[in-house]
Structure 1
Amino acid sequence: MRVLVMGGTLFLGRHIVEVALGRGHDVTIFNRGQENPTLFPEIERLVGDRNSNLSSLAGREFEAAIDPSAYNPEQIHLLLSALKGPPRHYTFISSISVYRGFAPGIQYDEDADLLAGSEGYGALKARTEAAIWSAMPERVAILRPGLIAGPYDPTGRFTYWIRRIEAGGRVLAPGRRERPVQFIDARDLAEWAMLLAEDQVSAVYNAAGPHSTLTMGQFLDHCLEASQSDARLEWLTDEQILASGIEGWTELPLWIAENDTEAGGIFHADNRRARGLELGFRPVAETIRDTRDWIRAAGEVKCSPLLVKTLSTVKEQSTINACQP
């Protein structure tokens, strides 16, 4: 199958290309040629800018397109206008950020209300979903993951916890040990996206991690086991963390106060529809171990525009001292 991957050399797109090649597909990637330009020398690489210059795609035909990088409807219009014709199937990696809100403790499925308008990441992703579906009705798989984890992660979110626990000492552990968390390994998402493209599945799916089967305590225990450092978890309540002025999701990835009226239920995504179509999840310990190995080999990611500013050690320790003198 002739497969077009938009991007393909950074994180999720890189895993998608690896899966597609492993399954024997004829892969073409389109990107700006700035990230890992020597990666995948055996495949066709088209250079351009999806916002302004898609001339290298002009007149081309593909059986499937897998797109982890579109963020607004205009990017879809430009891509489909450049191609000779729409691909037979389009797999779009969207986000749970399209939902209007995440009420505390409430599970949400794919029929939950979406954000309106065109302001902000989530709303634009929702409008992008609509643009693809309008252009190619019944030929689109829309996948809505939450946090994506694993090797090559340029955001610093998931890797924050692995790096921090490897560094040792007192580690601020947020909220309740029993609080559920959800994330999906990029490799699991890539394999499933390729399967949907092959089968030309058309629907919308929450591609978030398993619900109610992983807690924050279990996740951090796995990180401790992988690091074998002298790290000691210091559990602080949501109220203590909020009072310290620490920002959830950015400074402390995988944490948002459970009683937050807008996002407290973010880790309650219902993914039964996706699991019914063979979305599977590798063991959490494997994701942590493989990501740890990549971190050790690659060193610190410093220049990615996707890198978030996580909690500094100084602020972390001062917060622990103030709350647990």
Structure 2
Amino acid sequence: MRILMLGGSGFVGRAVVDDALSRGWDVTLLHRGTRRPPEGATVLVGDRTAPDGLAALAEGSWDLVVDTWSARPSAVRDAARLLADRVGRYVYVSSCSIYADPVDHRAAEDGVLVEGSPDDGEVPYPRAKRGGELAVTGAFGEDRSLLLRAGLILGPGEDVGRLTWWLNRIARGGPVLAPGPRDLTLQYVDARDLARWALDAAVAGRCGPYNLASRQGHCTMGELLDACVAATGSDAELRWTDPARIAAAGIEPWTDLPIWAPPGELHEYLFELETARAFAHGLHCRPVAETVADTWRWLDGLGGASPQRPDRPVLGLDPKVEAAVLEG
């Protein structure tokens, strides 16, 4: 198989490239040259935000292209139009954020979507991803487009600061504010499981949208943080704290306490995605302990300094706020 990866040196894109290379595929990636590319891939340099950013793709043909772009949809539109006659299938990593609020998860992939346009410039993330989907299907048609509406993505290489923040915090040890309840369920997908399924699905000729995450209740908040303690070998003491107390302290779920959302509307939005279609077509999600341990091994090898995407805010709880709540 000949695969073109748009990006490929960062989190999800790197997982796709690594999986493709492990299969012995011929891998070409287009990226800006700001990160070290994977060994074994043909590297083309181009910046999709520049007027001539796709010049390196003027020639060549591939069996499939994988795209994780999450900024302006017009960049996806331009790439899809350029490649439509020279690529067999377009795999676009979208997001479950494109479902309009309030989300009816029972509708699965047929749920109501936010508005979007392939011609949009800079727009909010949900609209950008929806515009990207429309750009792909507009150029490749429904039958040659595979749309991965991913939930929360974790694993080695993460550059958003969710699981990596928890690992670094727990590695420091001492009392840790653990947001309860302990048995609160979580749903996510390891980037490597996403990559494996995406390539398998492309080879099988899958098309259309797929919600991509673990089954609901794949693990709990307690299991996630216990795995962080075990992986880091820390002496951290998890102090399980009631959501009402956390809210009273002005601590924001999802941002101050990454991954966590208290029981209620936000939790339902984030962690009750219907993923039966992907599982019916072969999705497999590894245990949380494996994802956590592998992420710590990667992060520890970087000295704890995980990469941070410049287009995303820095996440995590102020140590002084945490101490005040634990002492209160």
TM over 0.5: yes
Amino acid corresponding to residue 41 of structure 2 in structure 1 = I
Match for 1:136 among 133, 140, 153? Answer: 140
The answer for the alignment partner of 1:155 in structure 2 is 160
Query: Identity of paired residues, percent?
Result: 37
Which residue is 2:239 aligned to?
234
**Of 145, 151, 155, which residue of structure 2 is paired with 1:146?**
151
2: distance between equivalents of 1:227 and 1:312?
Answer: 21
Match of residue 258, structure 2, among 236, 253, 275: 253
1:200 matches 2:205: yes
Quote the offset at 1:276 in angstroms. Answer: 0.6
Which of 178, 186, 194 is the aligned partner of 2:183?
178
Q: 2:47 maps to which residue?
A: 49
Partner of 2:295: 291
2:276 pairs with 1:268: no
Moved over 3 A (4+): 81-84, 262-265
Question: How far is the alpha carbon of 1:215 from its aligned partner?
Answer: 1.2
Instruction: Say if 2:121 is the partner of 1:116.
Output: no
Cα distance in structure 2, aligned partners of 1:307 and 1:25: 35
Which whole-Å CA distance do the structure 1 matches of 2:179 and 2:107 have between them? 23
Distance 1:41 1:288, change over 3 A: closer
1:167–1:229 contact (8 Å) kept in structure 2: yes
Instruction: Tell me: CA distance 1:83–1:212, structure 2 relative to 1, closer, same or farther (3 Å).
Output: closer
Letter in 2 for 1:313: P
Contact kept in structure 2, 1:108 and 1:269, CA below 8 Å:
no
How big is the shift at 1:283? 1.5
Task: Determine whether 1:79 maps to 2:79.
Answer: yes
The C-alpha deviation readout for 1:40-96, integer Å capped at 9, x for no partner, is 343211111112211010132211001122433311221134337251111110111
Alignment partner of 1:91: what SS?
Answer: strand
- Per-residue CA deviation, residues 233-277 of structure 1 (Å, 9 max, x unaligned), is 1122222212211122121111123224x5643101111110111
- Tell me the amino acid that sits aligned with residue 167 of structure 2: I
Contact in 1 for aligned 2:70/2:125 (Cα 8 Å): no
Give me the whole-angstrom Cα distance separating, in 1, the residues matched to 2:98 and 2:278.
17
**Aligned alpha-carbon RMSD (Å):** 2.0
| Count of residue pairs brought into register by the alignment | 318
8 Å contact 1:257–1:264 — kept in the other structure? no
Q: Which amino acid aligns with 1:256?
A: A
Name the aligned partner's letter for residue 29 of structure 1: L
Alpha-carbon distance, 1:318 to partner = 1.1
From the superposition, tell whether residues 302 and 3 of structure 1 become closer, same or farther in structure 2 (CA, over 3 Å): closer
Residue aligning to 2:16: 16
Among residues 215, 218, 227, which one is paired with 2:220 in the alignment? 215
Structure 2 CA distance, aligned partners of 1:171 and 1:108? Answer: 38
Equivalent position amino acid for 2:208 in 1? A
Change (3 A) 1:259 1:80: closer
Question: How far apart, CA to CA, are the structure 2 residues paired with 1:254 and 1:303?
Answer: 16
| Greater mean deviation of Cα atoms: 169-178 or 64-73 | 64-73
Determine if contact 2:103/2:112 at 8 Å carries over to the other structure. no
1:126 partnered with 2:130: yes
* More displaced stretch, 109-118 vs 212-221: 109-118
Structure 1 residue matching 2:185: 3-state secondary structure: coil
Once residues 325 and 166 of structure 2 are traced to their aligned partners in structure 1, the CA distance between those partners, rounded to angstroms, is 17
More strand by share: 2
**1-structure distance, mates of 2:269, 2:39:** 43
The answer to whether 1:314 aligns with 2:313 is: no
Contact between 2:160 and 2:308, CA under 8 Å: does it hold in 1? no
For the Cα contact (< 8 Å) 1:148–1:183, is it kept in 2?
A: yes
Residues 79, 313 of structure 1: alpha-carbon distance in 2 compared, 3 angstrom cutoff: same
Tell me, in whole angstroms, the C-alpha distance in 1 between the residues paired with 2:102 and 2:284. 24
Aligned residue identity for 1:208? A
- Structure 2 residue runs of 5 or longer lacking an equivalent are none
CA shift in 2, pair 1:239/1:264, >3 Å:
farther
Cα distance between partner residues in 2 of 1:303 and 1:174: 24
Rounded Cα–Cα distance in structure 2 between residues aligned with 1:184 and 1:57: 31
